[in-house]
Amino acid sequence: MDPTLCRDCAKLMPAGPVCPHCGSARVVSHPELLDLSIAHIDCDAFYASVEKRDDPSLLDKPLIVGHPGGRGVVTTACYIARKFGPRSAMPMFKALELCPHAVVIPPNMAKYKAVSQQIRALMLKATPQVEPLSLDEAYLDLTPEHRLIDRHPVVILARLARAIERDVGVTVSIGLSYNKSLAKLASDRDKPRGLSVIGRAEAKSILAPLPVGAIHGIGRATASRLEADGITTVAQLQAMSEAALVARMGKFGKALAERVHGIDNRRITPDRPLKSVSVENTFARDQRTLEPMAAELRDLTGKLVARLQRAGVGGSTVVLKLKTGDFKTLSRQIHLPHPTQRFETLWEHGFSLLRREADGRPFRLIGIGVSELAPAVEADPPDLFQ
Ligand code: TTP
Ligand code: MG
């Protein structure tokens, strides 16, 4: 009998259609259920779910998140809207032709970021090995040496899904397998609120009928090249030798030969490289004149330098951030010929950006940061002419 879990009470149970503990029929059964520990978690219709959470009157309505108006595109369509055809990246006018009664809400990235961090914090209670892929998805390594809770991964995952629903108010779909590619494939097979399992014994046969684009690393261009040669399914790639794949695809052929057979040795790497460093502050009262804003910018630049030194990096793009009295965020940048962590350089460029914007409008927030980071040793090379 296959190991079986009730997804509602997160308890292992005897095989059967209904949980003897809570009566739920949301059960998952699989011969390898207790042997798999790599997970991919992806939120369901993420931006739309957050908006529905914050306005329950939208719950039973088709909702599209995206910029309304002629040239906008759909960022997310909720599952009700998707029944009528709208999808991510579809032009808004087309989505509204398909679903004219949809409610359209512009995206609120700051909010989605905050929700994403809340979800991340819950994931980190299960394992420090969390590798985010975007705001709404991450890999988790729940092997015994990494997991922080002494339970089977599938139990931890069911509890995590429950905690995210209860504490954050959005639903997720989970893929559980023995490597990243298959965990990601799995999470997409049962949506929304899914828990899908791909075991070692079935991986090849699950991959076989899929289009070649389902393999990690085969993008649209490669897929159409293969299709032009009559290779449309993974089964056809499985039938080719590694040598044949290398001859056709070059270096990637070797990894491809493994992937089509369900092998993927990529590790889960929690530490994403730092992309930017910044500091900001909201004024006690909105400011309209240059002097007080410049004074604040000077203080912030000092803090920025301290942070850059601590992180051991410099940046070659200086970014000034301003928020207007009516909450519009402006971002102005200057690209430098080399990375810097010097106060004078950052202050000089930050100030020149600020001077152009300080035209009497009220501002509520100011910030400064750098991006395009490089190690501190590469920052501020000595100037031969000085
Ligand atoms: P996805 O996980 O691809 O989509 P989703 O969460 O909306 O829906 P589901 O996972 O249930 O299929 O993307 C996550 C978020 O990323 C999505 O809510 C909006 C954003 N996004 C874009 O901005 N543009 C895009 O083209 C896509 C695909 C997503
Ligand atoms: Mg998603």
13 within a domain of the structure (yes/no) = no
Q: Is the CB of 191 under 6 A from ligand 1?
A: yes
17 within a domain of the structure (yes/no) = no
The DSSP bridge partners found for residue 317 are 335, 371
Same domain for 295 and 196: no
Note if the pTM is more than 0.75.
Answer: no
Range of the domain at 247: 204-259
63 within a domain of the structure (yes/no) = yes
Cα torsion through 10, 14, 19, 20, rounded to 10: -110
359 within a domain of the structure (yes/no) = yes
Instruction: Note the pLDDT tens digit of each residue in 113-152.
Output: 899 999 999 999 999 999 998 889 999 999 999 999 999 9
d(CA 248, CA 219): 15
Same domain for 147 and 73: yes
The pLDDT assigned to 386 comes to: 46
The pLDDT assigned to 9 comes to: 96
In the predicted structure, residue 382 carries a pLDDT above the cut 90: no
Percentage of the chain lying above the pLDDT 90 cut: 83
In the predicted structure, residue 76 carries a pLDDT above the cut 90: yes
Determine the residue of 41, 51, 76 to mutate for testing ligand 1's pocket, defined as the one with the most ligand atoms within 8 A of the Cβ atom.
Answer: 76
Mean pLDDT of 65-87: 92
Instruction: Note the pLDDT tens digit of each residue in 209-220.
Output: 999 999 998 888
Helix, strand, coil percentages, rounded to 5, for the chain? 35, 25, 40
58, HSE (Cβ side, Cα atoms, 13 Å)? 21
pLDDT band at 379 (very low <50, low <70, confident <90, very high): confident
Residues within 5 Å of ion ligand 2 by Cβ? 42-43, 46, 136
Same domain for 141 and 114: yes
pLDDT band at 221 (very low <50, low <70, confident <90, very high): confident
User: How far is the centre of ligand 2, averaged over its atoms, from the C-alpha of 139 (Å)?
Assistant: 13
Q: What is the CATH number of the domain that holds 62?
A: 3.30.70.270
Instruction: Note the pLDDT tens digit of each residue in 40-52.
Output: 999 999 999 999 9
Mean pLDDT of the chain: 94
Q: Is residue 75 within 8 Å of 107, Cβ to Cβ?
A: yes
Please give the positions annotated as active site: 137
Same domain for 156 and 95: yes
Q: Is the CB of 46 under 6 A from ligand 1?
A: yes
d(CA 19, CA 146): 29
Q: Is the CB of 88 under 6 A from ligand 1?
A: yes
User: How far is the centre of ligand 2, averaged over its atoms, from the C-alpha of 134 (Å)?
Assistant: 9
In the predicted structure, residue 323 carries a pLDDT above the cut 90: yes
Q: What is the DSSP annotation of 215-227? A: STT--HHHHHHHH
Q: Is 56 exposed, middle or buried (0-12, 13-18, 19+ CB in 10 A)?
A: exposed
d(CA 251, CA 246): 6
Q: Hey, whose CA ends up nearest to atom 10 of ligand 1?
A: 44
Q: Is residue 172 within 8 Å of 158, Cβ to Cβ?
A: no
1 within a domain of the structure (yes/no) = no
Percentage of the chain lying above the pLDDT 70 cut: 98
d(CA 102, CA 105): 10
Q: How many domains does the chain have?
A: 3
Mean pLDDT of 50-69: 95
Token couple for 260: 């089509």
Instruction: Note the pLDDT tens digit of each residue in 192-209.
Output: 999 999 999 999 999 999
Q: What is the CATH number of the domain that holds 222?
A: 1.10.150.20
Higher confidence at residue 2 or residue 271? 2
pLDDT band at 384 (very low <50, low <70, confident <90, very high): low
Q: Residue type for 294, please?
A: A
Same domain for 295 and 150: no
User: How far is the centre of ligand 2, averaged over its atoms, from the C-alpha of 191 (Å)?
Assistant: 9
Same domain for 210 and 195: no
The pLDDT assigned to 377 comes to: 81
pLDDT band at 14 (very low <50, low <70, confident <90, very high): very high
Nearest CA to 206 out of 183, 229, 173, 228 is that of 183
Q: Is the CB of 187 under 6 A from ligand 1?
A: no
Which atom of ligand 1 lies nearest, measured to the CA of 48?
Answer: 18
The DSSP bridge partners found for residue 105 are 65
User: How far is the centre of ligand 2, averaged over its atoms, from the C-alpha of 45 (Å)?
Assistant: 5
Q: Is the CB of 42 under 6 A from ligand 1?
A: yes
Same domain for 300 and 177: no
